[in-house]
Structure 1
């Protein structure tokens, strides 16, 4: 199992669509929680949500993409740009220090 960072930016004028799908999104996250190391919204300097960041466990990038595509936010087409990259947790509090 590998780790992938998924960085999504919202399309303009999708804030209401995001709000309307929030409960379905939360339900989906709860059902698939074992796939996530962390997930949450990205906000601009004014606190307005502009996207999402997910760190997921997956076999490969295709599997990570399938996890994202099962999210209600993906199905309502709020994301303008999606980037999926393999991520290696190397240092920090969340991993208990460093890997070297």
Structure 2
């Protein structure tokens, strides 16, 4: 299984859409928690949510995209830009050091 980083930037003025879909989004996260390495909101300097960052387990970028499209936030049309890239966790305390 590979991992993919998914970087999503919110469209302007979508805070209410995000709030309206939040409970369904959290239910989706809880139901699919095994697919996530990590996930959370991206914040600006004032602590306002401006996007989302996910690292998910998938075999292909297409599968990672399909997983994202199952999220209620996707249906809420809050993201202006979505980038999906294969990711390798190579160093840091989250992985217990380094891989080399």
TM above 0.5, yes or no, is yes
Match of 1:4 in 2: 4
Q: Which whole-Å deviations, capped at 9, do the CAs of 1:26-53 have from their partners, x for residues lacking one?
A: 0000000000000000000000000000
CA drift of 1:93 comes to 0.7
Which residues of 2 match residues 56-67 of structure 1 at below 5 A?
56-67=56-67
CA drift of 1:15 comes to 0.2
Q: TM-score by structure 1 length?
A: 0.99
Match of 1:33 in 2: 33
Q: Which whole-Å deviations, capped at 9, do the CAs of 1:72-100 have from their partners, x for residues lacking one?
A: 00011100000000000000011110000
List runs of 5+ in structure 1 lacking aligned partners. none
CA drift of 1:23 comes to 0.4
Which ranges of 4 or more aligned residues in structure 1 deviate by more than 3 Å? none
List runs of 5+ in structure 2 lacking aligned partners. none
Q: TM-score by structure 2 length?
A: 0.99
CA drift of 1:60 comes to 0.6
Q: What is the CA–CA distance in structure 1 between the aligned matches of 2:57 and 2:96, rounded to whole Å?
A: 18
Q: What is the CA–CA distance in structure 2 between the aligned matches of 1:93 and 1:69, rounded to whole Å?
A: 30
Q: What is the CA–CA distance in structure 2 between the aligned matches of 1:28 and 1:91, rounded to whole Å?
A: 29
